[in-house]
Structure 1
Amino acid sequence: MFDLETEALLETFPTHQEYSHMVTFGPDEETAYVANIGSDSVTVVDADERRVVADPPVGEGPEGFAVDPDTGELLVANQDDDNLTVLDGGSYEETSTAMLGTTPVRLVFDPAGRYALTANRESDDVSVIDTAFVRDGERRPWEVKRIPVGIWPGGTAFDPSGDRAFVANNKTNDISVIDTESFDEVERFDAGIHPDGIAYRAD
């Protein structure tokens, strides 16, 4: 944990897991989550009390993940299982799974919290997850579409309106623009060599 104003290191949190990688905060900004690719788990950290709360198991090779802003559920993309694990936001128990494309590496929610996108690195596409989908009489996140994009998609970001999403394609050196009404790629523009991380700056 860092103090961003002073750039001082405040504290470290050993996960005791293998290959701890991606980190994100929940909507409360008090709970942090760490994907542990080598241990097939997610570490939950109480940043306010500065302690590790749990290490719930997920699928194989978890990497991309995000917290549903409405339900508090944690959606985890497992790159070696090619699927999604959904964890309850309170108990951190698995509540459902869903298939994705091949090697999902990033997962982001749209600003409204209804849809999430995963960039699937080896199948060169993006999975659209409807977080309010009803299956077998129960609401559960579910893949409803797969969008072809460039080669080796990775970083993904929405504009503030949620009307468009942008996907960095690492091997074609370009950015896919996705219209979120149709969930189709509507444009592609050149980027630098091997783009991966991406963010949208709203002035």
Structure 2
Amino acid sequence: MADQSPGRALIGSFTSAGGRGIVAAAVDPGTGALAETGASDAVPDPSYLAAVTTTAGTALYAVSETADGAVAAFDVTGAAPRPIGEPMPVGGVGPTHLAVSQGHLLTANYGSGSVSVLPIGTDGAPGPVGGVMRHEGSGPVRDRQDTPHAHQVLPDPSGRWVLSVDLGTDSVRICALDTAADALVLHGETALRPGTGPRHLAFHPAGRHAYVLGELEPTVTVCRWDAAAGILETVGETAVLPAGTTGPAYPSAPVVSPDGRRIWAAVRGHDSIAVLDLDETGERAQLVTTVPCGGHWPRDLALDPTGRRLYAANERSGDVTWFAVDQATGIPRRTGSLSVAAASCIVFA
């Protein structure tokens, strides 16, 4: 693929656990090394971030993963993130993920099992919450699935649909975004194997498959995606840890390579990055190996814009580690780290 500048990295962290909020870092174009340039603690617990590039520049959006859940917008053109407007309540508890679609900000609210829609103003700041879609259902793991827990929301590659992944109900909901009403309209729901606890999904670059990473069982569920009809269909499962692996393992974040040849998945507890190969159809995944994540409790995993380096946000060891990716095998090799207390997410802008 063509070389691209990695730009800057923005790292979210839990202020309630000693983090400094949103940390900005310069990226060395030759080595991928991070060097902090500034930070902002304007909102508590900005655990997940989304960077959006527009004609006016790049805006950064952050959830505030608190009981009084909120979102905030930031200008990231300077050394440290600068708030745009005021934080806006999302009408939900504990937002853990957010995305932008059709001029709207969407949040997945884990605590209340809902997805919120907020319009984005001309200045880039989110407006008052419009619709809040509440999930329904439960799963067999009683201490984790007694109620819905929306963990991720994202638009599909066609931009026609919005998908929300719910750990509590073992399902993925497909919705249409009503931009006039600032609300989601439920179109369908895909059930996954009970007890897998889906956390995040990632699309194949061709847009015809999606890969759902389970948190409660270390598996990837492969799905076909029909963007014309808005239908997600499960076709198989693959383990992200070798057979016989013991001890706690809670997968967190899947990443699909730009060429569609492989998936990487961060696994907390096991503290590893799983490497899986995809066949040419995109429907079969095979575990190749796992490598140490370079820290403890990798909550997020991101590929830089060059496609050559992976970055793991290790929450409990308080660092972000980076890896050079072997372009032939996909196996990451650790090459450095940056201390970031309670690191939870990393994006590039």
Bin for the TM-score computed over the shorter chain: 0.7 to 0.9
Q: Which residue of 2 aligns with 1:162?
A: 307
1:71-129 CA-to-partner distances (Å, cap 9, x unmatched) read 42121111112111112102422111100133111112233333322110111001123
Partner SS, residue 160 of structure 1: coil
Distance 1:70 1:193 in 2: 36
Q: Secondary structure at the match of 1:29?
A: coil
Measure the CA separation in 2 of the matches of 1:131 and 1:13.
34
- Greater Rg by CA: 2
Q: How does 1:67-146 map to 2 (within 5 A)?
A: 67-90=203-226, 91-101=231-241, 102-132=249-279, 139-146=283-290
Equivalent residue, structure 2, for 1:37: 167
Amino acid at match of 2:347: A
Cross-structure match for 2:11: none
Please point out which of 277, 287, 296 is paired with 1:151: 296
Contact 1:22 1:35 in 2 (8 A): yes
Highest RCO, 1 vs 2 (Cα 8 Å, sep ≥ 6): 2
Q: Partners in 2 of 1:58 and 1:120 — Cα distance?
A: 20
How far, CA to CA, are the matches of 2:283 and 2:198 in structure 1? Answer: 23
Q: Does 1:57 align with 2:173?
A: no
Number of aligned residue pairs:
198
> Which one-letter code corresponds to 2:159 in the other structure?
E
Distance 2:130 2:286 in 1: 39
Matched residue SS, 2:344: coil
Give the match for residue 198 of structure 1: 346
Question: Does the CA contact (< 8 Å) of 1:75 and 1:85 recur in 2?
Answer: yes
Which whole-Å deviations, capped at 9, do the CAs of 1:137-190 have from their partners, x for residues lacking one? x95123222121121011111111101110111122122212221523322313
Instruction: Give the direction of change, closer, same or farther, for the CA distance of 1:178–1:48 in structure 2 (3 Å limit).
Output: farther
Q: What SS class does the counterpart of residue 47 from structure 1 fall into?
A: strand
- Do the aligned partners of residues 170 and 2 (structure 1) sit closer, same or farther apart at CA in structure 2, a change above 3 Å counting? same
Structure 1 residues 72 and 2: alpha-carbon distance in aligned structure 2, compared to 1, 3 A threshold: farther
- Which sits farther off after the overlay, 173-182 or 6-15? 6-15
Deviation at 1:131, TM superposition (A): 2.7
1:19 maps to amino acid: H
Pairs within 5 Å for 1:169-180: 169-180=314-325
CA contact (8 A) 2:205 2:260 kept: yes
Root-mean-square deviation (CA), in Å? 2.1
Query: In structure 2, what is the equivalent of residue 3 of structure 1?
Result: 119
The separation in 1 between residues aligned to 2:202 and 2:325, in whole angstroms, is 19
Q: Which blocks of at least 5 consecutive residues in structure 2 are unaligned?
A: 1-116, 138-147, 242-248
In terms of mean alpha carbon deviation, does 44-53 or 67-76 score higher? 44-53
Work out the CA distance in 1 between the residues paired with 2:263 and 2:251: 12
